[in-house]
Structure 1
Amino acid sequence: MSAEPDEVDRLVAAWTHERPDLDVSPMQVMSRVARLAHHLDRARRQAFAEHGLEPWEFDVLSALRKAGEPYALSPGRLVQETLVTSGTMTNRVDRLATRGFVERLPDPSDRRGVQVRLTPAGRTAVDGALTELVEHEKELLAELDDEHADVLVDALRVLARRFA
């Protein structure tokens, strides 16, 4: 592992020089997380684009795929899984249905309800995009050994609890 100074080190040093009255040490973590998030977002978009998907399409299709057989959820459950409004979800399901990736079916447990189900074409698209995404993510993490990756996972888990 390289301990060479990086751009964040230079940024923190500049702020420390300019604002010695302010503890800018949180930037050591948060600026790196922000920069990594930017690179991850690019990798995600590239992985999805290689399979003809937008990030939001992957989010909906992956929620259905993760649900297991028969790969169907209610629109309300999809809203919970993807953290969007019901109006947004209706639009997204309409667009995915037009592409042949999902279909609406009557809810077998509620005559008034519907289920959104992944089609074989949707499953192929989401499975391909997921495989590509995992490969991109492996590349981004390639410089971490297992021990460092485990420490990072634990630290990020602690930080993420605040938002759960």
Structure 2
Amino acid sequence: MSHSRAAEDEVDRLIAAWQQERPDLDVTPLEVLSRVSRLSRHLDRARRAAFAEHDLESWEFDVLTALRRAGRPYELSPGALLRATLVTSGTMTNRIDRMVASGLVTRHPDPEDRRGVLVRLTAQGVERVDAAFAGLLRRERELLAGLGEREQRALAALLHTLLVPFDASDGGSH
């Protein structure tokens, strides 16, 4: 194996088993991609825990952050929210309804389109998403604590290189 860590991880054991069972195959891609996959699961758990601290579900965080990133007055059309969160229109309608009921967003007529509506963050929504985002960043810094600043930048650059072709092939919608 190409890394020189003293501690073994689950991927090391997986690679060793495949090398034993299938020495004819080059399992090198597993060293990177299996670790990325496992890390993704750990990150997903950490994110859900960060959101739960602020009584939010992952999908609520996605909608709230899309609105927050839009800038004042923190509003978007349901169509823009669909594109930002990659869900169906029925799912988005249901999500908006639930968030209106919980006081996180409101619906307003779109002054540019008499048939359209805009979804806007409430003061409570801004407060919750800002707190949840700060909590998420704190947890993500903890996850990256084993890497120095230079290593984090290098890893980010390498992951960027891997991700760009995927985003380009699906229109950059992720």
- TM-score normalised to structure 2 length: 0.91
Q: Distance in 2 between matches of 1:57 and 1:116?
A: 13
Q: Given the alignment, which residue of 39, 56, 60 partners 2:42?
A: 39
User: Post-superposition shift, 1:6?
Assistant: 2.2
Higher RCO structure, 1 or 2 (CA under 8 Å, sep 6+)? 1
Pair 1:82-2:75 in alignment = no
- Percent identity between the aligned chains? 61
Root mean square deviation, CA, Å: 1.3
Q: Distance in 2 between matches of 1:47 and 1:141?
A: 15
Of the structure 1 ranges 48-57 and 10-19, higher mean CA displacement relative to structure 2 is found in 10-19
User: Post-superposition shift, 1:10?
Assistant: 1.7
Question: After the TM superposition, which residues 1-164 of structure 1 pair with which residues of structure 2 at under 5 Å, given as runs?
Answer: 3-4=5-6, 5-164=8-167
Aligned to 2:172: none
Of the structure 1 ranges 19-28 and 54-63, higher mean CA displacement relative to structure 2 is found in 19-28
User: Post-superposition shift, 1:162?
Assistant: 2.2
User: Post-superposition shift, 1:161?
Assistant: 1.1
- Residues 113-152 of structure 1 show CA distances to partners (whole Å, capped at 9, x for unaligned) of 1000000011111111101000000000001011111110
Unaligned runs of 5+ in 2: 168-174
Unaligned runs of 5+ in 1: none
* Runs of at least 4 residues off by over 6 Å: none
Q: Distance in 2 between matches of 1:24 and 1:133?
A: 34
